[in-house]
Amino acid sequence: MPSPSPLPAAPRILRPVHSAVLLEGPAGVALHLHGVDGAITQVPLTLSALREIAALAGVAGEAATQDAAPAR
């Protein structure tokens, strides 16, 4: 009998974030979020999540470049 699929992590509300950093370690890449109250949340990232973040950053960068272009 196949084992059941793991349940997805339940979403939760995070406190306001002061800073974020991507760190690479022996277990892979993790996103560390530092809250304004000093709390730290660590989120392990998969390769597909990193690709999604890169794609979103690329789209945001393109939009910012277009917004900064002088009007003719």
Residue 3 lies inside a defined structural domain of this protein: no
Three-state DSSP class for 28?
A: strand
Residue 8 lies inside a defined structural domain of this protein: no
pLDDT exceeds 70 at position 6? no
- Structural domain range at position 54: 17-68
Determine contact, residues 48/55, Cβ cutoff 8 Å: no
Maximum Cα interatomic distance, the chain, rounded to a whole number of Å: 66
Residue 44 lies inside a defined structural domain of this protein: yes
pLDDT exceeds 60 at position 1? no
pTM of the full structure: 0.49
Residue 10 lies inside a defined structural domain of this protein: no
Residue 7 lies inside a defined structural domain of this protein: no
pLDDT in tens, 10-67: 777 767 888 988 899 888 889 888 888 888 888 888 888 888 888 888 877 777 677 6
What is the total count of domains within the chain?
A: 1
Residue 33 lies inside a defined structural domain of this protein: yes
Residue 2 lies inside a defined structural domain of this protein: no
- Predicted local confidence at residue 4, as pLDDT: 63
- Predicted local confidence at residue 20, as pLDDT: 87
